[in-house]
Amino acid sequence: MGETDDNDLSSLNADWCQVRRTVVMLQAAVTHIQLTMTESDESINDLASSFTLLANKTNAIKGLIEKLPDGPQKDELAAEVAGLNDNVHGNVIAFQFYDKLNQRIEHIRNGLDMLAELLNNKNRIFSQQEWMVLQNQIKDDFHIDDDKVLFDAIINGASREEALRLYHERKQQGNSAGDIDLF
């Protein structure tokens, strides 16, 4: 998206300024998204390392507790370690939700990037085929089926509210059927 060629819109007259400004704003949004993802990844990686260490230490303590003679203190320590293990497990699930969030944000960033490239090319901007290719590329890049449903609803004319309602209905049906989102 950074490089331009003879097909870009920067050389068009002031009547086309709104398209060029749209491209610049999209580039700014994509840059901020990328920076946010990079910074949050660093923090999440630090947290993941801490939880890995915590899980390893908890398992080591559990092994030491098993060597203790039976009694109320051993039972109390074992219960505390079990609580720590549950806490660590809950945080691992939270990391999985972060991964899902990260995938969605990356998808948004890529979609905005592709949109800016299309808008910045005067040979592509007015081509219905190019717009259809863009829509299909964006849809094909979804890793989560429910997100494809949301995208399809909006592309087919649903409002954001309607699309979100459809999304939540689908999620609720999936949850009641015992489905697990794999991402």
What is the pLDDT, as a whole number, of residue 96?
84
Task: Give the pair of three-digit tokens for residue 27.
Answer: 């580039």
pLDDT at res. 182: 43
For residue 115, give its domain range.
Answer: 17-141
Residue 164 is assigned to a structural domain of this protein: no
Q: Is the residue at 170 inside a domain?
A: no
Split the chain (183 residues) into runs of 10 and give each run's mean pLDDT.
53 66 89 89 86 90 94 94 90 84 90 93 93 94 87 93 92 63 44
Instruction: Give the number of other CB atoms < 10 A from CB of residue 153.
Output: 19
Output the pLDDT for position 5. Answer: 53
- Residues 181/100, Cβ–Cβ less than 8 Å: yes
Give a yes or no: residue 106 inside a domain.
yes
Does residue 133 lie within any of the structural domains? Answer: yes
Q: Is residue 167 part of a domain?
A: no
Is 134 inside a domain boundary?
yes
Q: Is residue 159 part of a domain?
A: no
DSSP string, 43-111: HHHHHHHHHHHHHHHHHHHHHHHHHSPSSHHHHHHHHHHHHHHHHHHHHHHHHHHHHHHHHHHHHHHHH
Instruction: Answer whether residue 148 is part of any domain.
Output: no
Count how many domains the chain has: 1
Provide the pLDDT for residue 72: 94
pLDDT at 180: 45
Its pTM surpasses 0.85: no
CA distance 133 to 9: 20
